[in-house]
Amino acid sequence: MENLVEIKDVDFAYDVRPVLKGINMNIPRGKVVSIMGLSGCGKTTLLRLIGGALKPAKGGVRVAGRLMHELDLDGLYDMRRKMGMLFQFGALFTDMSAYDNVAFQMREHTGLPESMIEDLVLMKLHAVGLRGARDLMPSELSGGMARRVALARAIALDPMLIMYDEPFGGLDPISLGAICGLIRSLNDALGATSIVVTHDVQETLAIVDYVYFMSQGAVVTHGTPDDIRKSGDAFVHQFVWGEMDGPLPFHYPGASYAGDLALEAARA
């Protein structure tokens, strides 16, 4: 199967602080792939490398066969027009209506007449169930509605690649279920490829085709959702099943509790 995104031997650091170490990933066309791990493990940094906002210290990121860090400005903008991004918490333009948020990219990057833009915007809003909310401002939308408008904006130009940065954060169960279903159904309907960066495990495993699991800037395991659920890696098992204790201990390292009590008693 042809890969849309290929990440090979990528290292990245902010100044002298290493963030990514020897990352290798393949994202096949038409699939929904998740990158999971604890906060701070480098998931969002990977999205920035894929989008060309950052350049790797070593290795390369190819999207549709093009090495992102070698593109000139025109080439980079051309590639970004083929990508959609759902930012954490939506990041809607606060002074624009739902309609204008979705229309923004069409007006900026195409020469389409306003009548055609209107048809397309209403089509995208209808796809996320919010055609009737076209005139509402972001302050008038619930968290789940705002996330769905942001999703309509992300697919405004029918991108080949859609990236989701923590799309489920702060959502109630109904809204979360709606966003999960839309990620899968819109990817399949558009013939797109999706990358979902998240630490919401069970919701994500229900909709994705493949998972890369990261820890401390490296890929520790990867496989199908069933592979991840059955993983023998102690850290992955603790993360997937939300166990209190494991490789990540419940108690912060310190002296023994009995020792602390004895010391206090001696001081008294």
- Tens digit of each residue's pLDDT, the chain (268 residues): 699 999 999 999 888 788 899 999 999 999 999 998 877 778 889 999 999 999 999 999 999 999 999 999 999 989 988 998 888 766 888 899 999 999 998 898 888 899 999 999 999 999 888 889 899 999 998 888 888 899 899 888 889 999 998 888 777 888 888 888 888 988 998 899 999 998 788 888 889 999 998 888 889 889 998 888 888 777 787 877 777 776 666 666 777 777 777 777 777 6
What tens digit of pLDDT does each residue of 11-68 get? Answer: 998 887 888 999 999 999 999 999 988 777 788 899 999 999 999 999 999 999 999 9
Is 253 contained in some domain?
A: no
Is 81 contained in some domain?
A: yes
Is 264 contained in some domain?
A: no
Is 84 contained in some domain?
A: yes
Please check whether residue 162 is in contact with residue 4, taking contact to mean a CB–CB distance below 8 angstroms. Answer: no
Is 196 contained in some domain?
A: yes
Q: Give pLDDT, residue 252.
A: 66
H helices then E strands: how many in the chain?
A: 10, 10
Distance in angstroms (rounded) separating the CA atoms of residues 236 and 256 = 27
Maximal CA-CA distance, the chain: 82
Is 262 contained in some domain?
A: no
Q: Lay out the sheet containing 17-28: strands in order across.
A: 17-28, 3-14, 58-63, 66-67
Is 251 contained in some domain?
A: no
The predicted model scores a pTM of 0.85
Which residue, among 137, 252, 190, 172, has the nearest Cα to 4 in the 3D structure?
A: 190
Number of structural domains in the chain: 1
Domain extent, residue 130, equals 3-246
Beta 83-86 vs 58-63: how paired, if at all?
unpaired
Is 166 contained in some domain?
A: yes
CATH of the domain at 211: 3.40.50.300
